[in-house]
Amino acid sequence: MSPLIGGLQKTTNYRVVLPFYIYASFGFLLGTCLLLFSTEAVGAHYFNPHTLAITHTMALAWGTMIIFGASHQLLPVLVEGKLDSDPLAYLTFAFTAVGIPFLVYGFYVFDMGLPLQLGAILINIGVICYLANVLASSFNKNSKNVHAWYVITATLWLFATTFFGLLLVLNFRTPILSKNSVEYLSVHAHLGIVGWFLLMVIGVGSRLIPMFLISKYTNDKVLWLVFALLNGALIGFLLVYFADLSTMLLYIPILMGLIAILLFGRHCYKAYKARIRKSIDPQVKTSLISVAQMLLPFLALIATLVLLPGGQSPEIAILYGFCIFFGWLTAIILGMTFKTMPFIIWNKVYHNQAHKGRTPTPKEIFNNSIYNVMLYSYLGGFIIFILGILLFNQILLKGGALALLIAAILYVYNVMITACHKSKQNEYPNE
């Protein structure tokens, strides 16, 4: 077993982590259900009830909750210490888990009143608890590696995202900002996409992918450069927007972000080439696919800048969001879930029994056959739905969404199989 995972097992209580994984799995299921019954929204302006509900379900109930769970488990090794507070982790779950349904419901029925406001407030309280835990855990140690700084910075951007989102929600009813809330949607979105998701995924992925490949490759200088490029790109985007500069200048932060993604992809490729284990399991392959998928949103973003100012092809903005939330973000979560969660369950069930005889390996705790079917269904659904967006074909959109829903059902089933695993040590003879 990896020393990294062994270290994590000693520092993070499984009760802290598992609720996030289970909640996120049902968030993914809800997101795909909403997608299946809202395909008519493709082609409409992205500021519509169903698109907003789907986006926030995938961003919060799926992406953010699974990252919360995994990072509570991974943070101790990244900061070379231990999680500062289990109670803060429980509070993070409680506030965000309750707040997300209120927020999604408010968007779905397009009620900018109490449900939306209450959901936004609760989510912000949960994020503050998470931020406090990350900062306290990180600054308990004097040494902080590059991966820890990714997590710290991403969490600060997350708070900026949710707090600004709360201001936008309040601004719908009581004008507190200089412009209409719709005018700030791109700022809110990219604070979360680049500042929270991209920084966190690269920061953690650059540690996990080489580890699961059993690769000795590391290059902190490249990771610091990627860190600087992504933060610089986001700050540059904000300057262009708030200083009301020419939109042509947006190509500079886009180029910086593209270079950062290519450098991260090169980092993963070098780790792949330097791997000790030649065979690669499907979960790591899925995560590597997600790295390639990171390029798709950049292509859609450039197309959006070219086409949308003239009022053409609003579906390209939908394609951009889809490639992010149902593309690289979902793909890396699908892969990493079944590389991290089985270790957590193994430690829960077998930690005190390992000396008594042979125990199942972590990869035997979930169903790999179901995983493979889920992966094919996901990839097929992702490609078909993209074709449906580009051709504006409802049959393709429904077919792609249905395949994604099947993938989500299989994912939930496998997560529950893993979470409910009981000791099977008596099935193995002593060796």
pLDDT band at 7 (very low <50, low <70, confident <90, very high): very low
Q: What percent of the chain has pLDDT over 90?
A: 49
Average pLDDT for 327-350:
87
Contacts of 352 (CB under 8 A, 6+ apart): none
What are the beta bridge partners of residue 215? 275
Q: Is the pLDDT of residue 304 over 70?
A: no
User: Which pLDDT score is estimated for 5?
Assistant: 46
The pLDDT tens digits for 75-103 are: 887 777 788 889 999 999 999 999 999 99
Nearest by Cα to 221 from 177, 274, 263, 174: 263
Position 3 confidence tier, pLDDT thresholds 50, 70, 90: very low
The mean pLDDT of the chain is 87
Q: Tell whether the model's pLDDT for residue 316 goes beyond 80.
A: no
Confidence of residue 1 (pLDDT cuts 50, 70, 90): very low
Domain layout of the chain by residue ranges: 3-351+359-424
Sign of the C-alpha dihedral, residues 21, 25, 28, 30? negative
Overall size of the chain counted in residues: 431
Residue 430: predicted pLDDT: 47
Mean pLDDT of 104-109: 94
* Other beta carbons less than 10 A from residue 295's beta carbon: 16
Of the candidate CATH numbers 1.20.210.10, 2.40.30.30, 3.90.1300.10, 3.40.50.300, the domain formed by 3-351+359-424 belongs to: 1.20.210.10
Q: What is the pLDDT of residue 402?
A: 97
Instruction: Find, among 226, 286, 220, the residue nearest to 256 by Cα.
Output: 226
pLDDT(323) > 80:
yes
Residue 138: the pLDDT is: 83
pLDDT digits (tens, 9 = 90+) for 220-243: 999 999 999 999 999 999 999 898
Over residues 355-409, the pLDDT tens digits come to 565 777 778 888 999 999 999 999 999 999 999 998 889 999 999 999 999 999 9
Give Cα separations from 377 to 180, 329, 380 (angstroms): 40, 16, 5
The pTM (predicted TM-score) of the whole model is 0.90
Give the residue with greater pLDDT, 298 vs 36. Answer: 36
What confidence category does residue 244 fall into, taking pLDDT thresholds of 50, 70 and 90? confident
**Contact call for residues 101 and 174 (beta carbons, < 8 A):** no
Chain segment 27-66, per-residue pLDDT in tens: 999 999 999 999 988 877 778 899 999 999 999 999 999 9
| Residue with more model confidence, 234 or 205 | 234
- CA 76 – CA 84 distance, rounded (Å): 9
What SS3 string covers the chain?
Answer: CCHHHHHHHHHCCHHHHHHHHHHHHHHHHHHHHHHHCCHHHCCCCCCCHHHHHHHHHHHHHHHHHHHHHHHHHHHHHHCCCCCCCHHHHHHHHHHHHHHHHHHHHHHHCCCCCHHHHHHHHHHHHHHHHHHHHHHHHHCCCCCCCHHHHHHHHHHHHHHHHHHHHHHHHHHHHCCCCCCCHHHHHHHHHHHHHHHHHHHHHHHHHHHHHHHHHCECCCCHHHHHHHHHHHHHHHHHHHHHHHCCCCHHHHHHHHHHHHHHHHHHHHHHHHHHHCECCCCCCHHHHHHHHHHHHCHHHHHHHHHHHHHHHHCCCCHHHHHHHHHHHHHHHHHHHHHHHHHHHHHHHHHHHHCCCHHHCCCCCHHHCCCHHHHHHHHHHHHHHHHHHHHHHHHCCHHHHHHHHHHHHHHHHHHHHHHHHHHCCCCCHHHCCCC
